[in-house]
């Protein structure tokens, strides 16, 4: 059971994180919250005409569970990136040059 959990974390982390982030960032040039749900969005966009609502819900849920560790990793990286950006803007605001000098 532990091996299955470790395998899911590794597989979901690699596919859900690395590949998902690379593909989504190639489209947006930014790693953000949308990148965390790229697989599910792509599945929905490609199959919304062919599947009914129940089929779409099952598919999106299944994909989301498989890549959940990677999605959590992407969300954590996006939050850290936004936090560092806010801190950098605060730093620039506090230590900016005076207007007359």
Q: How many residues does the chain have?
A: 101
| CB within 8 Å of 75: residues ≥ 6 apart | 33, 36
Is residue 86 pLDDT above 80, yes or no?
A: yes
Is residue 23 pLDDT above 80, yes or no?
A: no
| Percentage of the chain modeled with pLDDT above 90 | 32
Quote the pTM value.
0.71
Residue ranges of domains in the chain: 2-94
pLDDT tier, 71 (very low <50, low <70, confident <90, very high otherwise): confident
Q: Sign of the CA dihedral 70, 85, 30, 60? A: positive
Is residue 87 pLDDT above 60, yes or no?
A: yes
Give me the pLDDT at residue 49, please: 93
């Amino acid at each position: 059971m532990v091996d299955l959990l470790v395998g899911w974390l590794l597989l979901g982390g690699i596919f859900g994180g690395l590949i998902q982030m690379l593909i989504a960032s190639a489209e947006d040039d930014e790693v953000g919250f949308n990148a965390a749900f790229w697989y599910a969005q792509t599945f929905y966009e490609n199959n919304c005409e062919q599947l009914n609502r129940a089929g779409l819900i099952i598919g999106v849920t299944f994909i989301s569970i498989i890549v959940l560790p990677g999605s959590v990793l992407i969300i954590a990286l996006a939050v850290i990136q936004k936090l560092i950006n806010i801190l950098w803007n605060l730093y620039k605001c506090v230590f900016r040059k005076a207007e007359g000098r």
